[in-house]
Amino acid sequence: MALADNEVETTGLVGWIDRRFPLTSTWKKHVSEYYAPKNFNFWYFFGSLALLVLVLQIVTGIFLVMNYKPDATLAFASVEYIMREVPWGWLIRYLHSTGASMFFVVVYLHMFRGLIYGSYRKPRELVWIFGCAIFLCLMAEAFFGYLLPWGQMSFWGAQVIVNLFSAIPFIGPDLSLWIRGDYVVSDVTLNRFFAFHVIAIPLVLIGLVVAHLVALHEVGSNNPDGIEIKAKKDANGIPIDGIPFHPYYSVHDFMGVCVFLFIFAAIVFFAPEMGGYFLEANNFVPANPLQTPPEIAPVWYFTAFYAMLRATTDPFKIVLMVVIGLLGVFALLRARGKWRLGLPVLAIAVIVFMALTESKFWGVVVMGTAVVSLFFLPWLDRSPVKSIRYRPLFHKVFYGIFVFAFLLLGYLGTRPPSPAATLIAQICALVYFAFFLGMPFWTPRGRFKQPPERVRFKSH
């Protein structure tokens, strides 16, 4: 008797499971019969590496929790106990701390690949939104976990970041008090951060990762040429330019995993602190509420956004007001319909509100907007082609300037503040936002190359 498309003929233990749970059909749909473009390159390693590091963080986190004490009087000592007394505890701790930084390395590179190849464009808008939500969730997870060692930098970093919320008009002081659970960072704060870091955020993170993968497999993977391989199929409904993920890309990704683990192991065994970028020297000193460290700065993966926050001074707020005013005038001249008057009125309202509020609050707004802007990429980019391969040269220059500005912001966020550094950070922040705000105008312009009808692929 013929089997339906959704049925699987299996026997033995697998057959017994399949009659009660879609094991084989799920394996086929998402792995062995999931057809991916045959022209994946180096940039497509980082999605699977991010999943690998997520599993590593969960496993090492479980072992750390077995000996960690979420108590203000015992937290630092429990970390020292893990490092010195627990068998292989030092390795577990360094795997977890290094894994946190490497997680952001692979996620940043994964997002950069999506940016240059247009992986956020139709029909993958939801895939991109889930990915940005994962990035936000990852930032929250790192922030909550950063307090747990209860070192000097952990304590004062949390104190500074939570105090930023007090700048929000009307609700700020009550909001920061609610987040801390006390008037200062204390045992209550440590306990609630521990709960968020160990239980709440990981559950949300895992759910978003599953949603990200399901959405990806529903619409199919993008490729360096930006061509939809599902548009051309053979008589059996198989994409002509696709190959099964397993065994081809499972072996391909295994090679990437081996190289990554080699680099990861080198860092763990020879430079787990990475010169203070992965683990700061001040975090090896117990938290002291009565002694402020000379320099308070976040971990490197937050420094670009921290530099924007620090750069939002009173003069820079005036610059932002002028920019918003110019955008309102532009909307009045170019917008049509209900937006013609609505946008200028909104711009005036924002300018008035900015004049009445302190720059500290707008630093928080700038920092948050820098992350939220990523969610709108699918609708800001209006280029007729997806991949950077077929875009004009000035598009590539703009992408390069954007990346350079972001990296420079990241560097400035690690340095002590100075007038020159603040000015450079302000310029880089304007470049960052100009990249996104200008997208609807510069992305459709220029001479575009015609993408090929089928993906370009050379067998090895």
DSSP string across 321-361: HHHHHHHHHHHHHH--TTHHHHHHHHHHHHHHHHHHS-HHH
CB 409 within 8 A of CB 425: yes
DSSP string across 419-457: HHHHHHHHHHHHHHHHHHHTHHHHTT-S-PPPPPSS---
Distance from C-alpha of 91 to C-alpha of 213, rounded to nearest angstrom: 31
CB 253 within 8 A of CB 45: yes
Residues constituting the chain: 460
Number of neighbouring beta carbons within 10 Å of residue 441:
12
Distance from C-alpha of 200 to C-alpha of 259, rounded to nearest angstrom: 32
Which residues partner with 7 through β-bridges?
none
Distance from C-alpha of 394 to C-alpha of 441, rounded to nearest angstrom: 13
In angstroms, the Cα distances linking 112 to 30, 60, 81, 101, 435 are 24, 27, 39, 17, 14
- Non-local (6+) Cβ contacts of 58 within 8 A are 202
Is 217 annotated in a binding site? The answer is yes
CB 180 within 8 A of CB 186: yes
Which run of H or of E encompasses 244? Answer: strand 242-244
User: If you search the block for the tokens 């976990």, which residue do you land on?
Assistant: 145
User: If you search the block for the tokens 């209900």, which residue do you land on?
Assistant: 338
Is 197 annotated in a binding site? The answer is yes
Distance from C-alpha of 53 to C-alpha of 41, rounded to nearest angstrom: 20
Is 246 annotated in a binding site? The answer is no
In angstroms, the Cα distances linking 374 to 49, 187, 338, 370, 440 are 22, 35, 26, 7, 14
CB 434 within 8 A of CB 399: no
Distance from C-alpha of 352 to C-alpha of 255, rounded to nearest angstrom: 56
Burial label for 373, CB within 10 Å (0-12, 13-18, 19+), is middle
Task: Extract the annotated binding site.
Answer: 96, 110, 197, 212, 217
Numbered residues of the known binding site for heme b = 96, 110, 197, 212
Binding residues for a ubiquinone: 217
